[in-house]
Amino acid sequence: MTAFANMEYRERIRKTKEKMVEKGLDVLLITDPANMNYLTGYDGWSFYVHQLLMILIDEEEPFWIGRGQDLNGARATTWLGDSHLIGYPDDFVHSTEKHPMDFVSNILKEIGEANATIGIEMDTYYFTAKCYTRLRAELTQATFQDATNLVNYIRIIKSAKEIEYIRNATKIVEKAMQTGIDAIEVGVRECDVVAAIMHAQISGTASYGGDYPAIMPLLPSGIKTGTPHLTWTDEPYKSGDPVILELAGCYKRYHSPLSRTVFIGETNPKVTYLADVVIEGLNATIDAIKPGMTAEEVEAVWSKSIAKSGFIKDTRIGYSMGLNYPPDWGEHTVSLRPGDKTVLQPNMTFHVIPGIWLAQYGVEISESIRITETGCEVFANFPRQLFVKPSEKIFKLGGMYENI
């Protein structure tokens, strides 16, 4: 059931060990579920309890360590042999007396790694302060190093198969976005539009189904479009409301995010003007992107474009994205913003989202892209515009989207 051939997983392990050698690590403990998936294929909704991947520098296969009842899930989804799958007893789960990191520490003692230099992902959602303090208390002779993002930076260059999965996710998000735009009407409840969107996200296409995205559909409306990260309510849409849709398709945990903005009723000149500014800036940025540029040089193209209209955006305009689990589809590595001097390379993938959020309204129009040998590939084939309803209807003709 693994999403990739064993050879690809082994190559990822090899690259990880190269980074371990550079940092002087004997052991690497991976708790980020996306990194666990990347290195082994493990895919389960078990990250609400403690689990990890233990990589030993002199051991060919990593060890998956998790809740005992999830062992069969590891057997079903990873390429690891049974001897490298270890389950801890259920009395470690949500206990006030013992902790799964005590179990991990005992394993490290038993295999002679109590004095090892151990890398840990200090800044992940899934490695808690208690995890760290219990490891330190049990392994008093070990040396701990922060290995946050060690695997994440290996992930930023995608393989051909990974790109294929993102393209599949793109077909799903195109369908979900069109579903959302079609469903938004005066009097329709926000929650009912999101229900239709989520059905499209999970049902996928006739050729393949979708997966749950790492972020729920974000659909702020009205004055709430002045901020990007609100979900939905059970209130009906009203004439004069702008609506932001920030969605993603997900296939085998690989994401393709996409944002568009809808205006209900007679268009508002201020919203239309802001949308024109965002679109012009996004077009200029996408046209300029090419390998060899730095992340901050990409952002500078956008800033120069919007400055002509008097706008300043003080937040990043994009980030590396791909494989992930809740609560984020970003990879926590490269950001398109001033100060990030990361050089763009072919097969890096980004969500370019130069939204502008003002006090009373905002506009989001975004694209997911792949860096190519000469420029960039825009994944989605979807109109890059402000959608106005009901005065403008959107139809799909011959596989392309056109305005009627």
Question: What tokens does 369 get?
Answer: 């892209």
Work out whether strand 27-30 and strand 117-120 pair parallel, antiparallel, or are unpaired: parallel
Distance in angstroms (rounded) separating the CA atoms of residues 368 and 171: 12
pLDDT digits (tens, 9 = 90+) for 58-114: 999 999 999 999 999 999 999 999 999 999 999 999 999 999 999 999 999 999 999
Q: Helices in 43-146 by DSSP H: which ranges?
A: 71-77, 100-110, 129-138
CB 375 within 8 A of CB 289: yes
pLDDT band at 398 (very low <50, low <70, confident <90, very high): very low
Contacts of 7 (CB under 8 A, 6+ apart): none
Distance in angstroms (rounded) separating the CA atoms of residues 151 and 137: 26
Distance in angstroms (rounded) separating the CA atoms of residues 388 and 184: 10
**Mean pLDDT, to the nearest integer, of 348-361?**
96
Measured torsion, CA atoms of residues 278, 300, 220, 34, in degrees rounded to the nearest 10: 130
User: Is 39 a residue whose pLDDT tops 80?
Assistant: yes
**Mean pLDDT, to the nearest integer, of 245-262?**
98
Strand ranges (DSSP E) for 265-389? 318-321, 330-335, 349-352, 356-357, 362-363, 367-371, 376-378, 386-389
**Portion of the chain with pLDDT greater than 70, in percent:** 97
**Mean pLDDT, to the nearest integer, of 47-60?**
97
User: Is 399 a residue whose pLDDT tops 50?
Assistant: no
Distance in angstroms (rounded) separating the CA atoms of residues 276 and 287: 16
Contacts of 345 (CB under 8 A, 6+ apart): 157, 291, 371
pLDDT digits (tens, 9 = 90+) for 204-237: 999 999 999 999 999 999 999 999 999 999 999 9
Which H/E stretch holds residue 254?
Answer: strand 254-264
pLDDT score for 392: 43
CB 269 within 8 A of CB 396: no
pLDDT digits (tens, 9 = 90+) for 276-292: 999 999 999 999 999 99
pLDDT band at 267 (very low <50, low <70, confident <90, very high): confident
- Average predicted confidence (pLDDT) for the chain: 95
**Mean pLDDT, to the nearest integer, of 6-35?**
98
pLDDT score for 329: 98
Beta-carbon count within 10 A of 323 CB: 25
pLDDT score for 1: 78
pLDDT band at 394 (very low <50, low <70, confident <90, very high): very low
pLDDT band at 25 (very low <50, low <70, confident <90, very high): very high
User: Is 402 a residue whose pLDDT tops 90?
Assistant: no
User: Is 397 a residue whose pLDDT tops 70?
Assistant: no
Report which DSSP code applies to 45.
Answer: S
pTM assigned to the model? 0.94
pLDDT score for 218: 98
pLDDT score for 391: 46
3-state secondary structure of 344: coil
Contacts of 320 (CB under 8 A, 6+ apart): 156, 330, 331, 333, 334, 335, 348, 349, 350
Work out whether strand 318-321 and strand 349-352 pair parallel, antiparallel, or are unpaired: antiparallel
pLDDT score for 307: 96
